[in-house]
Amino acid sequence: MNNILKCENLSKYYSTTKALDNVTLNIPHGRIVGLLGPNGSGKTTFIKICNDLLTPSNGNIQIGGFAPGVETKEIISYLPEKTYLNSWMKVSEILDFFNDFYSDFNYEKAVDMLNRLKIDSKAKLKTLSKGTKEKVQLILVMSREAKLYLLDEPIGGVDPAARDYILDTIIRNYSENATVILSTHLISDIEKILDDIIFLKDGQVILSKTVDEVRDESGKSIDSLFREVFRC
Amino acid sequence: MLGKLMKYEIKATARWFLPFYVAMLFSAILNKFIFINPILNNTFVQEESFIAILQGILSSLSMFLYVALFFGLYVATLIVVIQRFYKSLLGDEGYLMFTLPVKTWQNILCKLLTSMLWAFASSLVAFGSIFILIPGEELKQIPQAFMEAVRTLGVGGIVLLFIFIVLSLTTSVLEIYSAISLGHLFNKRRLLLSFVMYLGLQTVTQFTGLIIAALSMKSIFTIYTSEITVGLGVQFRQMFIIVTIILAIFTAGYFTLTNYLLKKKLNLE
């Protein structure tokens, strides 16, 4: 089995809009994939369907050979746009929580990353600043030795210095042979780490290529290609 | 996995309830000494003095505190039932809870069982506080009264009563869960619409429950009217069984509905 993620004619309709429209994709193991598109192009919808947080209206999707469910949740490490940390736990307790539920959670790695960022593991989650919460969440997600990482706008809300740190963390911590799919509209920042790109527009895949292909064929950077394709 | 979920759910909710329980029992003990005992022993200061006024104020205050805690406990239990479901499953925390490798029904069952656990614990504490307040001699009559009840109802009756109480609770809690899940189908004003949904469900539940109960009772009473030998107890028990069955059906229905909505129609903000 070469592909970690396969989907066919995947669609999600809401009463008035098509959030995702006939998406067919095959994503292999061991790639870093940029899911790129302007706001409202269906990136989050796609990621939510992969995570079983939305039920598709049409089509099917398989991750690691399974439809979204308990089996896929065991192998997907997901970083949502939202902060999902509760208010009552300490940092150390949320580590225990992850360790309890995910068999692929690497506790030592998480502790190590917390220490390096000088985040106090005895601090209550609710007392952390927004930026620190995001870092804790990223640490939790990247400390799993998952087969597929789904990162929804991991660098959306942080300053450029933090962006480099986050990308560095992702690159250094994703397990070999795992695939990382990250959605963003800040392309220039992530261009250098991507293997593949998927352009989404109005819920449809309009381009799906490797970064090398794009450069060879058009001689353009992903960023300038994006600006060209999505010109308003 | 259900056990793990419950471990964290109990931890998350204990910080609400345990202080409440301590306050409640402490307040009961306080009342015993500055309100109940003086009345029993007639040691209230009679003459119009500063101490008498102080004693009066203190004892009323402590009684007020106790009563407030008593009802507060009920309200707090209700709020926790709603808040834990709404916030931890359908709020931002839902992004974590629904991506754990657990089944949706396990998440719902975890919330339900934890709510039940606290409801029972709260009842125990409430009873416990009453036992503290009741004077010693009266307290001795309680085991007798209990034995009397067992004799009247029979062991079967007690079991039935217990099932009835449990099912009443599960129905009420799951009705709230269903209403919140239904309210969540909308994109705006989800909390308000959840409340409207609750009123709707409540109307349907009461109405169908009453009709089924009325119909079945009619047949029970028709069967027995000619037989004078059959006591009212039998009819009462049959009614009771029917109501319990209705509750079981509603419990199953609401659980299925909530599970379906959270599995297929989930749409976190």
Kindly report, residue by residue over A66-117, the tens digit of the pLDDT. 999 999 999 999 999 889 999 899 999 999 999 999 999 999 999 999 998 8
Please tell me which residue of chain B has the smallest CA distance to A89: B12
- pLDDT band (50, 70, 90) for residue B44: low
Q: Name which residue leads in pLDDT, B229 or B12.
A: B12
Min Cα separation B13/chain A (Å): 10
Tell me: pLDDT of B54 over 90. no
A101 close contact with B: CB closer than 8 A = yes
Instruction: Give the integer Cα–Cα distance in Å for B244 and B232.
Output: 18
Alpha helices (H) in B48-140, listed in sequence order = 50-90, 94-97, 104-133, 136-139
Residue A196 confidence class, pLDDT cut points 50, 70, 90: very high
Mean pLDDT over each residue of chain A, to the nearest integer: 90
Nearest to B266 among A54, A73, A88 (CB): A54
Top mean-pLDDT range of A137-146, A212-221, B136-145: A137-146
In angstroms, the CA B94 to CA B88 distance is 6
**Cross-chain Cβ contact B98/A88 below 8 Å:** no
- Comparing CB atoms, the residue among A71, A73, A86 nearest residue B99 is A73
pTM of the predicted protein model = 0.90
- What is residue A126's DSSP assignment? G
Decide if A167 contacts A155 (C-beta within 8 A). yes
Amino acid B208 reads T
Is the CB of A163 inside 8 Å of chain B's CB atoms? no
Distance, in Å, from the CA atom of A69 to the CA atom of A65, rounded to the nearest integer, reads: 11
Chain A interface test: which of B5, B7, B88, B96 (most A C-beta within 10 Å): B96
Q: Which residues of A touch B98 (CB under 8 A)?
A: 51-53
Q: Which residues on chain A are in Cβ contact (under 8 Å) with B267?
A: 54
B95 and A53 within 8 Å at the Cβ level: the answer is yes
Residue that wins the pLDDT comparison between B212 and A55 = A55
pLDDT value at position B229?
Answer: 47
Closest chain A residue to the Cα of B1, Cα to Cα: A101
Model pLDDT, residue B220 = 63
Q: Which residues of B touch A102 (CB under 8 A)?
A: 100-101
pLDDT tens for each residue of B146-159: 888 888 777 878 88
Indicate the pLDDT class of residue B89, thresholds 50, 70 and 90: very high
Q: Is B221 helix (H, G, I), strand (E, B) or coil?
A: helix
Which has the closest alpha carbon to B213: B223, B225, B205, B202?
A: B205
Residue with tokens 């402490």: B26
Distance between CA atoms of residues A155 and A157, nearest Å: 6
Size of interface A-B (CB pairs under 8 A): 59
Best of B95, B97, B262, B268 to substitute, by most chain A Cβ atoms within 10 angstroms, is B95
Work out the average pLDDT over B170-193: 93
Contact B266 A82 (CB under 8 A): no
Kindly list the residues from chain A whose CB atom is less than 8 angstroms away from the CB atom of residue B102. 70, 73, 101
Residue B235 has pLDDT above 80, yes or no: no
Confidence class for position A173, pLDDT limits 50, 70, 90? confident
The Cα A23–Cα A114 span in angstroms is: 38
pLDDT at A228: 87
Q: What b/e readout covers B15-35, taking b as 16+ CB neighbours within 10 angstroms?
A: ebbeebbeebeebbebbbebb
3-state secondary structure of B47: coil
Chain B nearest CA to A70, separation (Å): 5
Q: Name chain B contacts of A71, Cβ cutoff 8 Å.
A: 101
